[in-house]
């Protein structure tokens, strides 16, 4: 059963990547200057997510996780989420007012490095997996920012269900993070976390597609003036 659950861990990653892909398309329409920022965030999140899932699969099969892949989950996923969050916040700002002219890479890069340095300090001072908590905070904060920006864009266009699904994703993501860090890990807690994650990421993917499709219909080159 543990191996089956480890294999199923790839499903939430797929839906998360799908949702972020739709949001990257949305960013490209609203602020083309942030296209590379969003795509870089997407790639980093995918790499981190796949590395974490493969590490969990190794743990289920052999009883030992792969430390490098387990670390990659945080080291790539958290900065990737920060880049995507910055791209979404910038796109939302540019959709509502004058174009923002400052460098879109500066803030997420500085923030990511600050959290990476904090993780390095925690690892050097305390050892264990304490260091990962700093990057978990960054990942959760960035995820909430992504959902807020995308939900606000959806609400602005009257897509209230999509906005509610983004809020649901943010809330469930925090709940799952709490289950994985504060509760003793068993097959049942892992199963609960998987079901919640899968539902949340499916909702995220659908809401992202809906908002991106709405802006494509209204902003695209064939839209009526």
- Find where tokens 């009883």 sit: 63
Q: Is 224 among the domain residues? A: no
Q: Is 201 among the domain residues? A: yes
- Find where tokens 């004058």 sit: 98
CA distance 84 to 163: 18
Q: pLDDT band at 217, cuts 50/70/90?
A: low
CA distance 145 to 151: 10
* pLDDT tens digit sequence for 121-143: 999 888 788 899 999 999 999 99
Write the CATH number for 85.
1.20.1070
- Find where tokens 């490095």 sit: 113
Provide the 10 A C-beta neighbour count for residue 110.
10
* pLDDT tens digit sequence for 90-125: 999 887 766 666 788 999 999 999 999 999 999 988
Q: In sequence order, which residues have a C-beta less than 8 Å from that of residue 147 and are 6 or more positions away?
A: 166, 167, 169, 170, 204
Q: Is the dihedral of CA 89, 91, 93, 95 positive or negative?
A: negative
44, 17 Cβ separation under 8 angstroms: no
Number of domains in the chain: 1
Q: Is 184 among the domain residues? A: yes
Q: pLDDT band at 8, cuts 50/70/90?
A: confident
| pTM reported for the whole predicted model | 0.89
* pLDDT tens digit sequence for 35-79: 999 999 999 999 999 998 898 888 778 777 788 888 999 999 999
SS3 86: helix
201, 12 Cβ separation under 8 angstroms: yes
Provide the 10 A C-beta neighbour count for residue 181.
12
Q: Is 186 among the domain residues? A: yes
- State which residues form the domain around 6: 2-219
- Find where tokens 């870089």 sit: 40
The answer on pLDDT for 225 being more than 60 is no
Q: Is 225 among the domain residues? A: no
Q: What is the pLDDT of residue 218?
A: 55
């Amino acid at each position: 059963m543990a191996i089956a659950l480890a294999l199923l861990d790839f499903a939430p990653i797929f839906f998360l990547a799908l949702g972020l892909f739709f949001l990257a398309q949305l960013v490209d329409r609203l602020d083309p200057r942030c296209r590379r920022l969003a795509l870089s965030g997407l790639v980093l999140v995918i790499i981190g997510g796949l590395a974490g899932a493969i590490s969990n699969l190794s743990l289920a099969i052999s009883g030992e996780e792969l430390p490098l892949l387990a670390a990659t989950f945080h080291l790539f996923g958290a900065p990737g989420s920060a880049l995507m969050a910055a791209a979404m916040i910038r796109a939302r700002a540019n959709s509502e007012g004058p174009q923002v002219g400052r460098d879109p890479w500066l803030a997420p890069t500085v923030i990511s490095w600050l959290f990476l340095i904090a993780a390095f300090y925690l690892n050097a001072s305390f050892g264990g997996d304490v260091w990962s908590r700093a990057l978990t905070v960054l990942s959760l904060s960035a995820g909430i920012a992504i959902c807020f920006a995308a939900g606000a864009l959806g609400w602005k266009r009257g897509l209230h269900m999509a906005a509610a699904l983004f809020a649901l994703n943010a809330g469930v993501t925090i709940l799952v993070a709490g289950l994985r860090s504060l509760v003793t890990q068993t097959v049942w807690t892992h199963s609960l976390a998987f079901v919640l994650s899968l539902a949340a990421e499916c909702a995220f993917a659908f809401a992202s597609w809906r908002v991106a499709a709405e802006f494509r219909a209204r902003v695209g080159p064939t839209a009526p003036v």
